[in-house]
Amino acid sequence: MAVGVVAGVESQERRGGGAGTGRVTAFVVLSCVTAGMGGVIFGYDIGIAGGVSSMEPFLRKFFPEVHRRMEGDVRVSNYCKFDSQLLTAFTSSLYVAGLLTTFAASRVTAGRGRRPSMLLGGAAFLAGAAVGGASVDIYMVILGRVLLGVGLGFANQAVPLYLSEMAPSRWRGAFSNGFQLSVGVGALAANVINYGTEKIRGGWGWRVSLALAAVPAGLLTLGALFLPETPNSLIQQGKVERCDVEQLLKKIRGADDVADELDTIVAANSATAGVGGGGLQMLLTQRRYRPQLAMAVMIPFFQQVTGINAIAFYAPVLLRTIGMGESASLLSAVVTGVVGVGATLLSMFAVDRFGRRTLFLAGGAQMLASQVLIGGIMAAKLGDDGGVSRAWAAALILLIAAYVAGFGWSWGPLGWLVPSEVFPLEVRSAGQSVTVATSFVFTVFVAQAFLAMLCRMRAGIFFFFAAWLAAMTAFVYLLLPETKGVPIEEVAGVWRGHWFWSRVVGGDGEEEERNNGGKL
């Protein structure tokens, strides 16, 4: 049934009807590139934290106890040198702030539009970069991270929705994966900048690293002033005439015949009129949204327990743990960053050709094998003292790169794409807020717990993440239907054709909702 839905939609698009009408225009590409600056900032903030927290001047100024361990003044296991709750608070404070901001951002995104959320996010990013770069004590450093987190709460709410709604359905995967590509580019830029600023004499290079977050933040803020709102959001707000939305849709699609797509958007929005309660209440209480709600929780949860953020946050720290020098560890992080960007770029071309499930399953298997091998090498070769040989260090770097590549073309981009495309318009902003909030909750947990877990579990932490990788790959195989090529306002149909979810939503989800009063 799910295959039949996809085939039917693709056939409709080949005939020229439906949401797939039109071409990829320069207008939509430019709009999405500008919006993608939100992803660049996200990646930059992830990459920059791990780099500066391995720099000796930064540690000496703000985390002297960790610096003493690195210098060997205190005898401690290799796995425990960076174990500091204050150091992890520096990393995770950004995501705590993002979590607390998410639901406020959801109301702005639904009620005011995707564009105002991006403007607010950009302004908060600019303030965070300024405070971080000018920090004189640990409180200012963490305040800067908190302001960046507020920006993330707004940007991560709005940007994936903006990309998925602006893109033609047949290229929605590629456009939406552009968010993860932007995240990868931001992380790579952070690694390159950290590698350069670490060499600045005088020990103030970390200030440059933190302050340069203002560059993509400024581009996002300035660009958002000129971005159009998405047609879906304009219809949802009800403040613009249908003819004006139609003209914008023609400009976006580069086609004159957009009536079918506009009718689909209007019909999806009208579903809200007959149902009481806000989007979040509808999402949490109505049976027809059960599959989407499950994906909004489980996919970002699994995305975090892959262990990717442990490596993204702490790759330089991890490499210093195995005995590499400060500069070498930062350079190795640059190499893995290049691999991650390349893999995400590959996924942009592959996702609409091979589908979401194929990339999820293949990437999960690649990451699982890499984690097991990393854990095995560290368990066998790295004790509490000393380091590993150059050959084993090179092997670990290659395995980390293979792991990052697997994430870069599977769970990285698809972890944002799939949740952003499965929700009907009336609950789309609420669904995105659940996705972002879940992601932040477990990002905070991983960021705050990783160094302590590394200290106590040692190499076993990689087997911990490998077990979750096995579980999440099985989850995708059993419970995620394919959404390739399905117009965003018609994705609900794939659940009624799925072997498991059809039992949850029934053969006619909407009729069942009316009969049951919208409850289970």
Confirm if 373 and 432 have CB atoms less than 8 A apart: no
Q: Mean pLDDT highest for which of 241-250, 293-302, 409-418, 492-501?
A: 293-302
Least reliable range by pLDDT among 16-25, 316-325, 391-400, 506-515: 506-515
Angle at which helix 308-321 crosses helix 37-52, to 10 degrees, equals: 30
Q: Where does the pLDDT of residue 123 fall: very low under 50, low under 70, confident under 90, or very high at 90 and above? A: very high
What is d(CA 130, CA 145) in angstroms, rounded to the nearest whole number?
10
Q: Where does the pLDDT of residue 322 fall: very low under 50, low under 70, confident under 90, or very high at 90 and above? A: low
pLDDT at 343: 94
What is d(CA 420, CA 299) in angstroms, rounded to the nearest whole number?
11
Render pLDDT for 129-162 as a digit per residue (tens, 0 to 9): 999 999 999 999 999 999 999 999 999 889 888 8
pLDDT at 384: 65
Least reliable range by pLDDT among 251-260, 277-286, 337-346: 277-286
Confirm if 59 and 90 have CB atoms less than 8 A apart: no
What is d(CA 191, CA 193) in angstroms, rounded to the nearest whole number?
5
Average pLDDT on 84-100 reads 86
Average pLDDT on 250-270 reads 85
Per cent of the chain over pLDDT 70 is 86
Least reliable range by pLDDT among 27-36, 86-95, 273-282, 509-518: 509-518
pLDDT at 6: 30
CB atoms within 10 A of CB 285: 15
What is d(CA 243, CA 84) in angstroms, rounded to the nearest whole number?
58
Question: CA Rg, the chain, in Å?
Answer: 23
**Is the per-residue pLDDT at 502 higher than 80?**
yes
Average pLDDT on 491-509 reads 82
Render pLDDT for 364-381 as a digit per residue (tens, 0 to 9): 999 999 999 988 988 887
Q: Where does the pLDDT of residue 491 fall: very low under 50, low under 70, confident under 90, or very high at 90 and above? A: confident
Average pLDDT on 226-247 reads 88
Average per-residue pLDDT in the chain? 82
Instruction: Domain 26-271+279-507: state its class.
Output: mainly alpha
Render pLDDT for 452-469 as a digit per residue (tens, 0 to 9): 888 888 888 889 999 999
Render pLDDT for 192-212 as a digit per residue (tens, 0 to 9): 998 899 888 888 999 999 999
DSSP states along 22-50: S---HHHHHHHHHHTHHHHHHHHHHHHHH
pLDDT at 204: 93
Nearest Cα to 328, choosing from 393, 421, 262? Answer: 393
pLDDT at 72: 66
Residue 432 CB-half CA count within 13 A: 33
Average pLDDT on 34-46 reads 88
Confirm if 403 and 371 have CB atoms less than 8 A apart: yes
Paired tokens of 321: 């743990």
**439-469: buried (b, 16+ CB within 10 Å) or exposed (e) per residue?**
bbbbbbebbbbbbebbbeebbebbeebbebb
Render pLDDT for 263-294 as a digit per residue (tens, 0 to 9): 888 887 776 554 444 578 888 888 889 999 99
Render pLDDT for 50-65 as a digit per residue (tens, 0 to 9): 788 878 899 899 998 8
pLDDT at 125: 95
Average pLDDT on 9-32 reads 57
Average pLDDT on 393-400 reads 86
pLDDT at 378: 81
Is residue 310 within a helix (H) or strand (E), and if so which, with residue range? helix 308-321
Render pLDDT for 400-432 as a digit per residue (tens, 0 to 9): 899 999 999 999 889 988 988 888 877 887 888
**Is the per-residue pLDDT at 501 higher than 90?**
yes
